[in-house]
Amino acid sequence: MASTIQCLLFLSLLSYSFLLIKCDEEDDLLKGIQQYRSTLNLTALAATAEAECIADGVADTFQNRPCANATYLNATALSTFPSYTAVMARCRLNATNATGNGQILSTCVPNQQTLAISNFTSRYATYLNSTGFTTIGVGSEDDWLVVLLTNMTGTAINGNGASGLALTAITPVVLSLICLIMLV
């Protein structure tokens, strides 16, 4: 019994460390973009769960795509992204009611995440310097980083009328703690 609990605790901490690594790279990029905008005396962008979910969904579409394919990437309007409807549905957002402008900014920087901020600020300066965006979301998959800049209104809601802010996630640690309680 004790070895089972120790094993579960070890696995939960291991999975949580992978989650922290991913969050650190996304958080670093978000902080870098906010600092960049601050140096230009632009207002900070609001980071929302909806924008993060969309950015993560877009990043997931790049899974297993080599960085060699990153050279042709340009900013893409969110509404024209090939998986737009699927990504919005995954985030429990109603794509048909979403109004506003959204731009997907993506890059691939293999094993050198510190270069990501300079890559974004030089490549996508026009969008990052814009006062037309109010919200930001950052997602990642493998070596790919995706930033969503948007000014979408709160009309993108799920089918039951609840705001998209109701998105929740259970972290591996919480899941492991639930398992431990059930074992005791």
Q: Which sequence spans correspond to the domains of the chain?
A: 2-183
Low-confidence ranges of the chain (pLDDT < 50): 3-22, 155-184
Longest dimension (CA), the chain: 58
pTM above 0.75, yes or no: no
Would you state the pLDDT for residue 160? 33
The topology under which CATH files domain 2-183 is Pathogenesis-related Protein p14a (3.40.33)
Would you state the pLDDT for residue 171? 38
Would you state the pLDDT for residue 70? 62
Contacts of 148 (CB under 8 A, 6+ apart): 51, 54, 55, 58, 78, 102, 103, 104, 105, 135, 136, 137, 138, 139
Would you state the pLDDT for residue 1? 53
* Alpha carbon distances (Å) from 20 to 27, 121, 166, 184: 10, 24, 22, 28
Residue 9 sits at φ, ψ, to 5 deg, of -65, -45
Coil, helix or strand for 162? coil
